[in-house]
Amino acid sequence: MAEMTADLRTLVECESPSADTAAVAASADVVAALGARLTGVAPERIVVDGRTHLRWRFGPPGPRTPGVLLLGHHDTVWPVGSLLAHPWRVTDGRAYGPGCFDMKAGLVQLVHALAGMTTLDGITVLVTGDEELGALTSRPLLHEEAARASAAFVLEASADGGALKTARKGVAWYEVHVTGRAAHAGLEPWTGVNAAVELAHQVLAIGALDRGPDGATVTPTVATAGTTANTVPATASVHVDSRVPTADEARRVDEGLHALRPVLDGARVEVVRGPRHPPFEPSSSASLYALARDVAAALGLEPLGEAHVGGASDGNIVAGDGTPTLDGLGAVGAGAHAPGEYVVVDEMPRRAALLAGLVDAVRSSAWTNRAGADRAGRP
């Protein structure tokens, strides 16, 4: 545990905000050195549009060693300088620092789990550098590795109380653009077409697509309109954040947004879809979660819980490709993306042991048939 805590400090004190490609590259050096020290193998460095990803392939999968994909990311949401306000510290069994929970402790647990295994054959580790941005450059790598794997384990932080994440909502971002016609707001506003008013109608229609916490959430977020205070706005726009539990709900929301029509005469409405993650549905994780509970019991660990969450991860992408996937195997703690983010230090060795046990179980002959059954009939 002391070594894992020291390694976590090293990662946390190398700040790595997603938007700072130089900081992410420096962080990749630190993660690569940690992995090489504990496994004896240096990773492949993959730089795409300035963003640095790391990949280890420890030997080919085969009939007796089904491919296992271990996923993590080393970028964070914290800007350089955050350590000044939120310095690394360990107090009352909790480690604090920017990015410790999401998800640098997961990376530490991952490499320590590998270090304790008798063979690494069939294992691929992919550590991306842009997960917090929606996998803008790492997505092709995720698709590539999902196709090679019989199962994927995601070292994202756990849910409350250490629960594994057995489902995640899919995410889709949209922009709705409105075009009207400018006019002087004092002299002849009636000759214009007010894009702000049209946008207000559209925001209400967008909000009507929402189905609450258990269904699809459709949330208008950043809205803008106009150029000067005395001019009828000629343009307006709103960003839309959609979280969907199933593929059917994703289609419903997409069709609903693209069906938006202007209310005011002379106004035009355009819908642009941005990056998205497919839903990670419970069927993708069911057999792996059952396996994890068996492994935890065999190791003498506390019974594992499960949770369905709204935030997406790289696990959504590989699960969407049909690879059986289990998420939330990383740190136990709380406070992701917020001041006071922390990791329960005592849990780090236990979670590493759980991961190692899961990988060994997947590579057993008993798993091969179960994995095939999970993939049967899936796109």
| Residues known to be catalytic | 75, 131
What is the Cα–Cα distance from 276 to 317, expressed in whole angstroms? 9
Helices (H), the chain: 2-12, 21-39, 82-85, 105-115, 139-148, 195-207, 247-258, 286-299, 314-320, 347-362, 365-375
What is the Cα–Cα distance from 302 to 297, expressed in whole angstroms? 7
> Token pair of 127, please?
């550590």
Q: What is the SS3 assignment for 245? A: coil
What is the Cα–Cα distance from 361 to 74, expressed in whole angstroms? 27
Backbone angles phi, psi at 121, to 5 degrees: -55, 140
Measured CA to CA in angstroms, residue 320 lies from 143, 171, 324, 378 at distances of 9, 12, 9, 9
Nearest by Cα to 289 from 165, 148, 169: 165
Q: Which residues contact 103 (CB under 8 A, 6 or more apart)?
A: 72, 73, 155, 156, 157, 330, 331
> Token pair of 319, please?
């699960």
Residue 28 one-letter amino acid: A
Q: CB of 158 within 8 A of CB of 328?
A: yes
User: CA-based Rg of the chain, rounded to a whole angstrom?
Assistant: 23
